A = this chain, B = another copy of it.
Amino acid sequence: MATYKAPLKDMRFVLEEVLDFGTLSALPGNGELTPDLVAAILEEGAKIAENVLFPINRSGDEEGCHYENGVVRTPAGFKEAYRQFVEGGWTNTTSDPRYGGQGLPATLGFMLSEMFSSANMSFSMYPGLSHGAYEAIRVHASDELKQAYLPKLGDGTWTGTMCLTEAHCGTDLGMLRTRAEPQADHSYSITGTKIFISAGEHDLAENIIHLVLARLPDAPEGVRGISLFLVPKFVPTTDGKPGERNGVRCGAIEHKMGIKASSTAVLNFDQAKGWLVGEANKGLNAMFVMMNAARVGVAILGLGLAETSYQSAVAYARDRVQGRSLTGPKEKDKPADPIIVHPDVRRMLMIQRSFTEGARSLVYWVGTLIDVAHRSEDAEKREVADDLLQLLTPVLKAYFTDMGFECANLAIQTYGGHGYIREHGVEQLARDARITQLYEGTNGIQALDLVGRKLPMKGGRPAQRLLGEISGFIAANKGDAAMAEFIEPLEKALGRVQESVLWLMQNAMKNPDEAGGAATDTLRLIALTAMAFMWARIAKAAQKGLAAGNDNEFYEAKLQTGRFFARRVLPQTTALMHAIKSGAEPMMALKAEAF
């Protein structure tokens, strides 16, 4: 059976030893933040993840959501789990204290999200979507809307959605058709059909707040004519209770490959009452606030599923006896050795482990960048953090979700035929993980965002900042012989990034298809290099730990896992650079009719 225990020790190691806890606690509003406080919060989060959310993950997949006459019922146990989740304050951890939130840093929010994603991805979608809606309202809405909606979205009494997609447009939102007619009372009447709306209808909360992209009557064509509206399922009364039923109805839920306990709704808006969020025709900007937060959130889903996959694969590989070690029997009293003795099983486990540990440090680092970007009083530091964040968001979204799916499949492969059987629970991880490569922009779209927007933006400043961070670390550690095995491959990978980006700059100007053709490979190349950077930082922290003489096995394992990454995973960067520099011609040559 799939297995999950929150990796609290590793989480704390990253926060306290790999990253700089002082940077975080020095930020305004974080005055009371200590490692012990963080640890206490994480321990409580682990309890709800392991004891409340994980036990209904498998049953939720088997049962799925039920749709009848516009009403969606979540699987057995979800309602009660959500009640406990809300009561524990887990929806409100990083929310704004001005609206009743706990104001914890984003970094800590990421750590909690990782656990909830590992335990039950379908469940974690419900509060996850609320978080995106919350952010869009907090940043863009009027004070009146903030006062009316943020407290209840924050404390989980209500949940939120993002209503972008229509049947004929997903990536290309410029084509959307949902209309908004201004009303005499300054509200709008919204009409249209949205699809793929996660948490669009369910029975967990008393109200659902939809953030809807629509067109005003006089709006320009394309993406410059899109506005964002807040459309509640029930229009709140003046005392904040769900009032009149609004004109938004769930027409169906989708039957999906996975995340079956997550309701994915078709929503029909029929003269629904809504309010403008932000400026008219600037809806896409407001939406991107949600979207960018959501993209890192999806990356964390990838990490979370990879962790559960890894833990499940390890448990099975230790337990299942089959065949003998190639170097002679290891457990002579048993009829066979546990399969963890086999190098090819090790290979699968180490790919997963070297991903989860490296990725954890990378995304928590990104968490600290968000906290600095939002809270630092130093404008220069905010700018640096925001630059890095902009660049890394698509990289993490695509790479983490590709790897989440890969790790889930490695878990299936470790289980052998048993992995294909539903009751063992690992095939669910793969089916659940598969969506993360698609939503909030497919991973191909992330790659285009990287090469088309993020690399060239601000004259290449964000990319220069990342390369600068990495070369700074290399320079600082070049004299350290113990670090050479991590620094040398990192330096080579960095060289490949530089060479590839240079090639891209020289060629994509002449032919934009060169950017498109190189996009996915460039994203992976940068992701692997960023991972090698984090592994070098982990190794540095591990060596410090070893020098202090405590817990040597833990730190040795870090070095061994980092070595696996450097020697067995990072060489992919050579092939990626070759592929990038071979250009787009081989993929564009064939005429569309010839396919």
Contact = CB atoms under 8 A, between A and B. Distances in A.
A326 B578 contact: no
A422 to B, nearest CB: 4
Contacts of A560: 586, 589-590, 594
A327 B345 CA distance: 46
A254 interface: yes
Contacts of A579: 567-568, 571
Contact of A422 (B256, B318, B343, B439): B256
A53 interface: no
Contacts of A557: 590, 594
A447 B347 CA distance: 13
A519 interface: yes
Contact of A322 (B172, B340, B582): B172
Interface string A575-595: 100110011101111111011
A516 B344 contact: yes
A437 B258 CA distance: 20
B346 A587 contact: yes
Interface residues of A, number: 96
A377 interface: no
Interface in A309-326: 314, 317-318, 322-323, 326
A413 interface: yes
A520 interface: yes
A438 B422 contact: no
Contact of A413 (B172, B417, B443): B443
The oligomer's copy count stands at: 2
Given A422-B257, A561-B590, A587-B350, A344 B171 contact: no
Contacts of A346: 517, 587-588, 590
A365 interface: no
A300 interface: no
A215 interface: no
B416 A353 contact: no
B571 A417 contact: no
A438 B426 CA distance: 14
A452 B327 CA distance: 13
Contact of A343 (B256, B317, B437, B517): B517
Nearest to A584: B343
A388 interface: no
Contact of A582 (B336, B350, B431, B567): B567
A448 B344 CA distance: 9
A572 interface: yes
Interface string A264-295: 00000000000000000000000000000000
Contacts of A439: 417
A587 B350 CA distance: 6
Contacts of A567: 579, 582-583, 586
Contacts of A26: none
Nearest to A565: B586
A563 B589 CA distance: 10
A384 interface: no
Consensus secondary structure, chain A interface:
helix
Contacts of A572: 575
A412 B196 CA distance: 15
B513 A422 contact: no
A359 B30 CA distance: 58
A512 B342 CA distance: 10
A590 B256 contact: no
A528 B398 CA distance: 26
A423 B452 CA distance: 33
A503 interface: no
Contacts of A584: 343
B171 A347 contact: no
A33 interface: no
A102 to B, nearest CB: 33
Nearest to A594: B557
Interface string A26-61: 000000000000000000000000000000000000
Interface centre among A346, A515, A553, A595 (most CB of B within 10 A): A595
Contacts of A591: 553
A13 to B, nearest CB: 14
A91 interface: no
Interface in A166-187: 169-172, 174-175
A434 interface: yes
Contacts of A318: 592, 595
A246 interface: no
A343 B257 contact: no
A444 B587 contact: no
A343 B589 CA distance: 10
**Which 5 pairs, one residue from A and one from B, show the smallest C-beta to C-beta distance?**
A343-B516, A571-B578, A326-B512, A567-B582, A257-B427
Given A257-B420, A560-B589, 11 more contacts: A171-B416, A175-B336, A196-B417, A338-B592, A343-B588, A344-B516, A349-B595, A413-B442, A417-B439, A560-B586, A571-B579
26 contacts: A169-B322, A171-B323, A171-B416, A172-B322, A174-B336, A254-B421, A318-B595, A326-B512, A343-B513, A343-B517, A344-B444, A344-B516, A346-B587, A346-B590, A347-B520, A353-B595, A413-B437, A413-B444, A416-B438, A557-B594, A563-B589, A567-B582, A571-B575, A572-B575, A573-B575, A574-B574
